[in-house]
């Protein structure tokens, strides 16, 4: 391919794709899908204190929508605001969030009300920005730079970006060498959005395979399979589907749990491993609860998911056995197939979920406080929109995120145009710069075409702060899991 054709293709590519498109598309998905998903996770507000003439009351949350970015003036008037005005006046470029609330009193629904629950900062040049779709001349008239590609927020007049965060892939089984006692360990970070729980399946030197997750420590993995519905030894052998040469190791583990006659005994063992020493029925009940809620939450939270969880646990057991016998190699954590990049959607989702739950708690408290005074509260009187707004703005303004993370949000560099674009395409590792982590800092062959091989800072952050390659793109969620599963089923995969 000669230089003229290469230049033509590159020009065509950059005319169609923005260098900040991953940020813009990610924010659009967050507003379109994630906001409603978080509201649906907290469907009802159920007060503990009710008015005298009411026996049952709950507040149902419905559809959440977002309006055009606007500002409320001192005289009470409300009007559309542009990013330039937000910068000049040192205010936040944000749009009101409207939530549909319905009071259900004694199984009778009252009229639904549209309530403003706060404001959400809007990413410049996203689908919900007032600059989207404008021509160069129109942007210049509004005082905007037509070459500005957006991808950042304006918080109190300051331009802030959410850094792309590099992390180990969730819901993916990785086997690594562990301590001398444990030998090899199979790990998975099970993440369903609400919960992220580390699961370990490790093989000790005597061949016994144990499992750790949440508050359950060192429970025999084969016993957990029995609790998940595979009560017969033949069922467990068929589930693992290992060659004949591994039958001895399987029998050792089956012998370890030979006193467990049924699923109830297995749940009782899990309860004991949780440290519950009293009533056996309570142990079983608590064990069932934690297995449904905390064991592989990305698969499900109900009894119907137990069979699928057993298949997933069996794949972890099988992989750690094969690695320990040298049939397959350990996983390379630094290979980019085992990494995922968390974009604006994931970071804003975790922030909004945490703050929205606090907002719901505040609504419930305000309702009960007014009931104690003998009043029947109105929906508008128990919602404090400024609370949710201030919590989100504080995290974006300071970079202090959910879980104690620091530096997720940063002040956008404006030293020069190329520095700005580089900052918008920066990738940060969660590893601390105070530790060596030599392997994580090294250039890996899988970085080729994805990350810039030369752009990284000197000093303690070398190798931990990277930048996307000039034509690297990040895939964004664009279809539901069910559509993907249906497609895989059409291609011949079996559904359990």
Burial of 36 (0-12, 13-18, 19+ CB in 10 A): middle
Burial of 35 (0-12, 13-18, 19+ CB in 10 A): buried
Q: Per the domain annotation, does 80 fall within a domain?
A: no
Helix axis angle, 233-240 relative to 247-256, nearest 10°? 140
Structure tokens at 280: 């056996």
List 97's β-bridge partners, or say none: 66, 118
Structure tokens at 62: 């419905």
The percentage of the chain sitting over the pLDDT mark of 70, rounded to a whole number, equals: 98
Average pLDDT over residues 364-386: 86
| 3 confidence band (pLDDT: 50, 70, 90) | confident
Residue 181 has pLDDT above 70, yes or no: no
Domain count for the chain, please give it: 1
Q: Per the domain annotation, does 76 fall within a domain?
A: no
**How much is the pLDDT for 404?**
79
Mean pLDDT, rounded, of the chain: 89
Q: What digits encode the pLDDT tens for the residues 53-103?
A: 888 888 999 999 999 999 988 888 889 999 999 999 999 999 999 999 998
Looking up tokens 């993907």 gives 484
Low-confidence winner among 156-165, 200-209, 309-318, 487-496 (lowest mean pLDDT): 487-496
Low-confidence winner among 4-13, 29-38, 63-72 (lowest mean pLDDT): 4-13
Residue 178 has pLDDT above 90, yes or no: no
Domain carrying residue 226? 174-336
CATH of the domain at 310: 3.90.1110.10
Residue 140 has pLDDT above 80, yes or no: yes
**How much is the pLDDT for 412?**
94
Handedness of CA 453, 458, 460, 465 (dihedral sign): negative
Q: What digits encode the pLDDT tens for the residues 211-241?
A: 999 888 889 999 999 999 898 889 999 999 8
Q: What digits encode the pLDDT tens for the residues 426-467?
A: 999 888 787 788 888 899 999 998 999 888 888 888 988 999
Low-confidence winner among 135-144, 169-178, 395-404, 482-491 (lowest mean pLDDT): 482-491
Q: Per the domain annotation, does 393 fall within a domain?
A: no
What are the angstrom distances between the C-alpha of 214 and each of 80, 325, 476?
A: 48, 28, 30
| 479 confidence band (pLDDT: 50, 70, 90) | low
Q: Per the domain annotation, does 218 fall within a domain?
A: yes
Average pLDDT over residues 123-149: 91
Q: Per the domain annotation, does 192 fall within a domain?
A: yes
Q: Per the domain annotation, does 440 fall within a domain?
A: no
Low-confidence winner among 2-16, 322-336, 354-368 (lowest mean pLDDT): 2-16
**How much is the pLDDT for 116?**
92
Q: What digits encode the pLDDT tens for the residues 243-299?
A: 888 888 889 999 988 888 888 888 888 888 888 777 788 888 888 999 999 999 999
Which of the two residues, 481 and 191, has the higher pLDDT score?
191
The percentage of the chain sitting over the pLDDT mark of 90, rounded to a whole number, equals: 46
> Would you list the DSSP string of 215-233?
TEEEEEHHHHHHHTT--SH
Integer Cα distance of 457 and 423 in angstroms: 12
Q: Per the domain annotation, does 75 fall within a domain?
A: no
Average pLDDT over residues 319-338: 90
**How much is the pLDDT for 125?**
93
Q: Per the domain annotation, does 191 fall within a domain?
A: yes
């Amino acid at each position: 391919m000669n230089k003229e054709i290469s230049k033509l293709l590159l020009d065509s590519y950059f005319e169609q794709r923005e260098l900040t498109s991953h940020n813009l598309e990610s924010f659009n998905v967050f507003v379109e899908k994630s906001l409603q998903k978080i509201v649906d996770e907290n469907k009802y507000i159920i007060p503990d204190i009710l008015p005298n003439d009411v026996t049952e009351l709950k507040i149902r949350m419905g559809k959440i929508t977002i309006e055009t970015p606007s500002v409320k003036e001192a005289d009470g008037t409300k009007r559309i605001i542009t990013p330039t005005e937000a910068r000049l006046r040192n205010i936040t470029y944000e749009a009101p969030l409207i939530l549909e609330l319905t009071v259900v009193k004694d199984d009778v629904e009252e009229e639904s009300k549209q309530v403003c629950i706060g404001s959400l900062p809007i990413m410049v040049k996203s689908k919900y920005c007032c600059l989207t779709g404008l021509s160069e001349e129109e942007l210049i008239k509004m005082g905007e730079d037509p070459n500005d590609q957006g991808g950042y927020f304006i918080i109190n007049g300051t331009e802030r970006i959410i850094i792309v965060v590099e992390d180990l892939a969730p819901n993916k089984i990785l086997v690594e060498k562990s301590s001398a006692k444990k030998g090899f360990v199979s790990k998975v970070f099970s993440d369903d959005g609400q919960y992220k729980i580390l699961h370990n399946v490790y093989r000790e030197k005597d061949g016994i395979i144990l499992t750790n997750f949440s508050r359950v420590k060192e429970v025999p993995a084969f016993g957990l399979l029995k609790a998940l519905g595979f009560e017969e030894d033949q069922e467990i052998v068929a589930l693992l589907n290992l060659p004949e040469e591994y039958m001895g190791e399987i029998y050792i583990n089956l012998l370890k749990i030979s006193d467990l006659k049924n699923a109830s005994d297995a749940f009782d063992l899990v309860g004991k491993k949780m440290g519950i020493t009293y009533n056996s029925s309570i142990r079983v009940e608590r064990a069932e609860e934690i297995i449904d809620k905390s064991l592989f939450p990305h698969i499900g939270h109900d009894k119907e998911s137990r069979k699928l969880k057993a298949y997933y646990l069996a794949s972890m057991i099988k992989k750690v056995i094969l690695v320990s016998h040298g049939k397959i190699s350990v996983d390379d954590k630094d290979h980019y197939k085992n990494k995922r990049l968390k974009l604006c959607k994931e970071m804003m989702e975790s922030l909004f979920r945490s703050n929205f739950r606090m907002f719901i708690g505040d609504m419930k408290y305000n309702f009960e406080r007014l009931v104690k005074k003998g009043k029947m509260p109105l929906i508008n009187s128990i919602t404090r929109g400024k609370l949710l707004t201030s919590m989100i703005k504080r995290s974006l303004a300071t970079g202090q995120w959910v879980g104690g993370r620091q530096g997720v949000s940063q002040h956008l560099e404006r030293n020069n145009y190329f520095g700005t674009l580089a900052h918008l395409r920066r990738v940060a590792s969660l590893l601390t710069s105070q530790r060596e982590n030599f392997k994580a800092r090294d250039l890996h062959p899988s970085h080729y075409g994805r990350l810039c091989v030369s752009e990284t800072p000197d000093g303690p952050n070398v190798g931990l702060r990277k930048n996307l390659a000039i034509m690297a793109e990040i895939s964004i969620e664009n279809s539901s899991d069910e559509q993907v599963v249906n497609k895989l089923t059409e291609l011949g995969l079996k559904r359990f």
